[in-house]
Amino acid sequence: MATESGTSTRLRGRSTGLDAETGLAVDAALAGLDALDIPTAQRRPLAARAWAATWPKIGALALFLLLWQIVVWSGWKPTYLLPGPGKALSEFGSRLGTGHFWDALARTLVRALEGYALAVVIGVVVGVVVSRSTILRTAVGSFITALQTMPSIVWFPLAILLFKLSESAILFVVVLGAAPSVANGVIYGVDYVPPLLVRVGRSMGARGFSLYRYVVAPAALPSVLAGLKQGWAFCWRSLMAGELLVIVPGHSSVGADLQNSRELIDTVGVMASMITIFVVGVLVDAAFNTADQRMRVRRGLIAEGTSAVRAARGGRGRGVTGSGVDPVGGSGDGTVPHQPADTGAGGADGGHAGGAG
């Protein structure tokens, strides 16, 4: 009897130790799953985030300037036709200190904002109306895409005939270049709203405008934002083409300066104007990327896809619960938890369990 009692005590002790180790491993695994679901990673300092977003662009710019200089050194074209980046950047820097540059840039940006705003209004209205009507979608859906694919420059002969060399001619082409992209973004955004969301909204009492305001519009927002970004790209391209072809007397602009430099065979001036156009494009793209980033953060796409995953993976090696136990069943030092020897009754029980499995 004493022997049987001692054996039972030892078995209970081994079972208790095994249960404790298994419980720690399970707790660690569950904590890792919680970290995947809850974004707990700390926010990095502003300087670190700014540097992380800036250094890849600086590296790409440095590589581009190096390739440009190598082409100049190769002697492919004489330097008066293809100047080096140093001369072009120096001319761009000198223009920044002149009032003419800022007047021309301001007029170009005003034209871009006016045309883009009008294109957004038209594109959103057309997109919403077409997406709600199957007949209109069948009738004009392909026409909108065809308008989007047409090069903006082909509209200028008609614009000049209708409006002569005026601001209206440029605005006409800018709107026609940008509005179809915005409309397509709205149409495809509404098309890809999950029907389940619409049914849930209706079951909660959303009808008509409320349904679009609280269900359809938020679900379609990513596609709409992509359409707005593409619409700006078409707007900017159309505007630059318009300012090259339609030079309004007395109205300085970035495109007019570019055309004047070309006529004077001032390649350095041409490069400086192109740098101005490029910088504006980069700044606007950064603004759209910021809006897209904030939208994804609010929807939990960035936190769950990056920060929390890194937090969970980092916690695995350290032991999420602070016990030093790895969620997969190992300890913090990479060793496997101690398993008691399968002897006596314990081995027999293990054999029966394995056979049943």
How do the domains of the chain map onto residue ranges? 21-39+301-325, 84-299
Q: Which of 152-166, 173-187, 315-329 has the lowest mean pLDDT?
A: 315-329
Quote the percentage of the chain above a pLDDT of 70: 72
Say yes or no to pLDDT of 337 above 70. Answer: no
Q: What is the mean pLDDT of the chain?
A: 78
For residues 332 and 325, the answer to whether their CB atoms sit within 8 Å is yes
CATH class of 84-299: mainly alpha
**pLDDT confidence of residue 96:** 92
Say yes or no to pLDDT of 100 above 50. Answer: yes
pLDDT category of residue 357 using cuts at 50, 70 and 90: very low
**pLDDT confidence of residue 323:** 42
Residue range 117-142: average pLDDT?
89
For residues 120 and 183, the answer to whether their CB atoms sit within 8 Å is no
The Cβ-side half-sphere exposure at 71, using a 13 Å CA radius, reads: 12
Q: Model confidence over 60-94: pLDDT tens digits?
A: 889 999 999 999 999 888 888 889 899 999 999 99
The amino acid present at 108, given as its one-letter code, is T
**pLDDT confidence of residue 277:** 94
For residues 327 and 25, the answer to whether their CB atoms sit within 8 Å is yes
Q: Which of 89-103, 128-142, 305-319 has the lowest mean pLDDT?
A: 305-319
Quote the percentage of the chain above a pLDDT of 90: 36
Residue positions counted in the chain: 357
For residues 202-211, one letter each, b for 16 or more C-beta atoms within 10 angstroms of the residue's C-beta and e for the rest, the string is eeeebeeeeb
More confident residue, 114 or 248: 114
Q: Model confidence over 261-278: pLDDT tens digits?
A: 999 989 999 999 999 999
More confident residue, 338 or 141: 141
Residue range 236-253: average pLDDT?
88
pLDDT category of residue 40 using cuts at 50, 70 and 90: very low
Most confident of 42-51, 76-85, 298-307, 335-344: 76-85
Say yes or no to pLDDT of 301 above 70. Answer: yes
pLDDT category of residue 20 using cuts at 50, 70 and 90: low
**pLDDT confidence of residue 16:** 52
Q: Model confidence over 146-177: pLDDT tens digits?
A: 888 888 889 999 999 999 888 899 999 999 99
